[in-house]
Amino acid sequence: MLKALFHGQLQLGLAQAVVAALAALAVVVAAGRRGIHLEKDLAVAMVRGLVQIVAVGSILLLLLRGPRWTSAFLLIAMIVAAGATSAKRAKGMPGAFRVSTWAIACGAGSTIAVMTLLGVIDTPITALVPVGSMLIANAMNTNGLALNRFRSDVLAHVGEIETALSLGADGKTSVTPYTLVSFEASLIPAIDSLRSLGIVWIPGLMAGMLLSGARPVYAAIYQFVLLGMIFASSGLTSLVSTLMIRTQVMSPADQLLLRPGQ
Amino acid sequence: MTEARERSLNSVNSGVLRAETLGRTVPSKVLVTDVDFEIRKGEILAIVGPSGSGKSSLLRLLNRLDEPTTGTVYLQGIDYREIPPRELRRRVGMVLQRPFLFPGTVADNLRFGPRQRGQELSEAALEELLSAVLLGSFAPRNVANLSGGEAQRVSFARTLANSPEVLLLDEPTSALDDDSKREVEAVILRISRDRNIPCVLVTHDVAQAARLAHRALLLEAGRVVRSGDVQEVLHA
């Protein structure tokens, strides 16, 4: 229907964006009627998301004309931005930005580097940056989930943690049960994605490859490859993040720094 | 307190734990300020005061769960900042308001502390600790099946498994019914009498302080407003 009304590609894209935004707004209105207010968060997220993706599209257009190594800078900038975004899920946790950025750099950055060296990810900017960004974005989500879960578990178990400390346990040992749970919980979306691949959903990359004329079997295999990489980078990110955060919530004298009301 | 017990207290050595101008201030509030006291072997010191007066905050400073912003604490004459925190907390045991038992059996809980320093509690030591808290045959029981009073007594035994030199008790009976409260009070007196361990007892229950303690500190707004013999402090 929209195609009949809008003939230019840009106009059509904007019209599709408006329709998608209206669908999201409908959910916000329904939630608002039940007392859950997401209006401000959604408005900011949508405007920000649109501006960011258009900006990245424009930068990509410029980078396409530059040398291949410039993609490394773009990926590093994405890692820093991802660190800042997922650190917000760990409100009040000391060192969350540093932990998030290092964890995503270790998890997604090392996976991108190794896979590029092995030839699993192509080196042209048009391949490396989009695939790399998928790994970084998923690592960011996983890291956010891990930190958020860790934060809420620690706050809910201050008594148990301080009991362990009072009995002579060190800070790391005292919070280890909550890092394990956080690590496991953060990987649920990645595991479910792998488990339901092709049955519940056909991912965008595969659809895009099919539309651009790739052989269906290769498109399917590459999608699996991508999800494998996402799982590896997300898992490594969560592992590094949960290991690092253990030391951040304790003072040098093994005092719990993350407590309700602080 | 009986005369014999008082004589016995006076005959033992000087303070095991001594707080000197101890205080903690957080950005918006003074929690504890300028607290001085000393506790001797076998003595029970009650810290009493209204809600929010800083009783629990003071107790947390004594085993360095929180960092003092002024003053310090001496354990056996040594500034506790010179003692590694893990060793300090083993030596200054703490029993919290709620027992916070770890999942597993009673024996697993008692073994937790010694295991943190690579030691294994013997069966005989386990039985002896459980007898001290009047739970002789409870070692194999799952902690999920204990009553509130039993759980709190396991918590006492778990702390004692570390052979502490001082015991900090943060309202250990406030979540218990009357019967359980009496059982736990009996355990406190027994530990103090048989093991000669000094106890710092935080309580909002003035009658309990009178039943158990030798001396008391009355805190108001984080400051000691009265200290001395428990009867004098409570009835002044």
Question: How distant, in Å, are the alpha carbons of A35, A38, A80, B156 from that of A32?
Answer: 5, 7, 33, 50
User: Do residues A84 and A25 share a domain?
Assistant: no
CB contact under 8 A, A166 and B96: yes
User: Last residue of some domain: A65, A84, A103?
Assistant: A65
Can you say whether the dihedral through the CA atoms of B210, B37, B47, A161 is positive or negative? negative
A121 found inside a domain:
yes
A20 found inside a domain:
yes
Question: CA A73, CA B154: separation in Å to the nearest integer?
Answer: 58
User: Do residues A123 and A238 share a domain?
Assistant: yes
User: Do residues A142 and A169 share a domain?
Assistant: yes
The range of the structural domain enclosing residue A236 comes to 68-248
CB B153 within 8 A of CB B184: yes
The mean pLDDT value for A174-202 works out to 85
Q: Which pair of tokens denotes residue B39?
A: 């506790």
User: Do residues A55 and A3 share a domain?
Assistant: yes
A260 found inside a domain:
no
Torsion angle of the four alpha carbons B106, B108, B114, B119, in this order, in degrees rounded to the nearest 10:
130
- Out of A159, A163, A253, closest to residue B85 by CB: A253
Tens of pLDDT along chain B (236 residues)?
Answer: 444 444 444 444 468 999 999 999 998 899 999 999 999 998 999 999 999 999 999 999 999 999 999 999 999 999 999 999 999 999 999 999 899 999 999 999 999 999 999 999 999 999 999 998 889 889 999 999 999 989 999 999 999 999 999 999 999 988 788 888 888 899 899 888 888 999 999 999 999 999 999 999 999 999 999 999 999 998 87
Minimal-distance CA residue of chain A relative to B156: A167
CB contact under 8 A, B65 and A162: yes
What class is the B3-235 domain? alpha beta
User: Do residues A134 and A27 share a domain?
Assistant: no
User: Do residues A72 and A60 share a domain?
Assistant: no
Edge-to-edge strands, sheet with B199-202: B92-95, B166-170, B199-202, B44-48, B215-220, B223-229
Q: Where are the domains of chain B?
A: 3-235
- Out of B66, B98, B162, closest to residue A168 by CB: B162
Pairing state between β B78-79 and B70-75: antiparallel
Q: Which pair of tokens denotes residue B140?
A: 């194999």
The residues near B236 (Cβ < 8 Å, ≥ 6 apart) are: B226
CB contact under 8 A, A167 and B159: yes
A43 found inside a domain:
yes
User: Do residues A27 and A105 share a domain?
Assistant: no
User: Do residues A137 and A240 share a domain?
Assistant: yes
A205 found inside a domain:
yes
DSSP string, A112-133: HHHHHHHTSS--SHHHHHHHHH
Question: CA B60, CA B19: separation in Å to the nearest integer?
Answer: 12
Question: How distant, in Å, are the alpha carbons of A74, A84, B164 from that of A57?
Answer: 12, 21, 65
User: Do residues A195 and A225 share a domain?
Assistant: yes
Tell whether A165 is within 8 A of chain B (Cβ): yes
- Out of A159, A255, A256, closest to residue B100 by CB: A159
pTM listed for this prediction? 0.80
From chain A, the residues in CB contact with B90 under 8 A are 167-168
Q: Can you say whether residue B118 is alpha, beta or left, with left for phi > 0 and alpha for psi between -120 and 50 degrees? A: left
| pLDDT at site B14 | 63
User: Do residues A167 and A231 share a domain?
Assistant: yes
Question: CA B17, CA B165: separation in Å to the nearest integer?
Answer: 9
Question: How distant, in Å, are the alpha carbons of A15, A256, B52, B198, B223 from that of B65?
Answer: 58, 8, 18, 19, 19
What's the structural domain count of chain A? 2
- Burial label for B235, CB within 10 Å (0-12, 13-18, 19+), is exposed
Helix (H) or strand (E) holding B84: none
